[in-house]
């Protein structure tokens, strides 16, 4: 809404009403809806118009502090066991859709830009005598590391881990893991470079055991 950005008196009044009344009411509504069914939406969330948080079964969505969810973004869990876990300070851009049949985890401070699709499930296509829609689903968890930036119009497919601080360029289709701090582009994604300097990087709590390619410190026995 452009009036939300305007500097006129009308703009200021509209902004006041929107941010001080409408937005807190919308947040309170979603907090009530989620928590009444065992989910969680922590304080500080800013949810713009048209956002949807669809908890497909009780307790399947947990969201940390200060979520920012722009217009028409959707997060959605599918029964019987889809889970979405979102850390603190996460931004989800306009029109982005996140769907979990298994589990989608988005760690703190990740930025998911506009019109991305993050979906951890495929239809099974094996038996030609039956419609694809009746052949079941095949899902594997997705994890998006702390501080990653998923820019715009990307697709992240099942079983993928996006590393801490990793960047996906516009229109990237991700079918394999992306390392920490990699900038990856294209379809399928290829890494064009690693950004920043190693010295500034602290050990990632997000890095799974066995994923860490940095040299191990010497053991006490050496």
By the rule CB under 6 A, 186 interacts with ligand COA: yes
Q: Residue 171 region, left (φ>0) first, then alpha (ψ -120 to 50), else beta? A: left
Q: Which helix (H) or strand (E) holds 117?
A: strand 117-119
185 contributes a contact to ligand COA by CB under 6 A: yes
Interface mask (CB under 6 A) for ligand COA, residues 12-51, using x and -? ----------------------------------------
The C-alpha atoms of residue 98 and residue 216 are separated, in whole angstroms, by 35
Q: Which of 93, 102, 30 is nearest to 60 (CA)?
A: 102
* Both tokens assigned to 171: 């229109």
Q: Which of 11, 59, 159, 171 binds ligand COA (CB under 6 A)?
A: 171
Please count the other Cβ atoms lying within 10 Å of the Cβ belonging to residue 49. Answer: 12
What is the pattern of x (binds ligand COA, CB under 6 A) and - over residues 75-114? ------------------x-------------------x-
C-alpha 183/C-alpha 190 separation (Å) is 8
Take residue 37 and report the two structure tokens written for it: 């069914």
Which range binds ligand COA by CB under 6 A, 24-32, 69-77, 95-103, 163-171?
A: 163-171
Which residue of 63, 75, 166, 167 would you call a contact of ligand COA, by CB under 6 A?
167
Alpha-carbon radius of gyration of the chain: 20
Instruction: Kindly tell me which of 102 and 152 has the beta carbon lying closer to ligand COA.
Output: 152
Residues lying near ligand COA in the complex (CB under 6 A) = 93, 113, 151-152, 167, 169-171, 183, 185-186, 192
């Amino acid at each position: 809404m452009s009036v939300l950005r305007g500097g006129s008196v009308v703009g200021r009044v509209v902004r006041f009403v929107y941010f001080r009344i409408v937005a807190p009411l919308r947040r309170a509504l979603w907090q009530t809806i989620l928590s009444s069914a065992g989910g969680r939406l922590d304080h500080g969330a800013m949810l713009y118009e048209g956002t949807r948080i669809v908890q497909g079964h009780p307790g399947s969505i947990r969201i940390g502090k200060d979520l920012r969810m722009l217009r028409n973004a959707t997060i959605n869990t599918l029964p019987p066991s889809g889970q979405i876990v979102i850390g603190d300070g996460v931004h989800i851009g306009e029109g982005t859709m996140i769907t979990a049949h298994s589990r989608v985890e988005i760690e703190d401070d990740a930025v998911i830009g506009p019109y991305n699709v993050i979906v951890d499930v495929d239809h099974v296509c094996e038996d030609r005598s039956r419609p694809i829609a009746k052949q079941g689903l095949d899902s594997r968890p997705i994890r998006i590391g702390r501080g990653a930036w998923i820019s715009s119009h990307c697709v992240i497919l099942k079983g993928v881990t996006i590393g801490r601080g990793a960047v996906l360029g516009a229109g990237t289709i991700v079918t394999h893991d992306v390392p920490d701090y990699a900038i990856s582009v294209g379809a399928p994604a290829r890494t064009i470079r690693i950004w920043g300097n190693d010295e500034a990087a602290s050990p990632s709590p997000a890095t799974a055991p066995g994923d860490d390619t940095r040299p191990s410190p010497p053991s006490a026995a050496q």
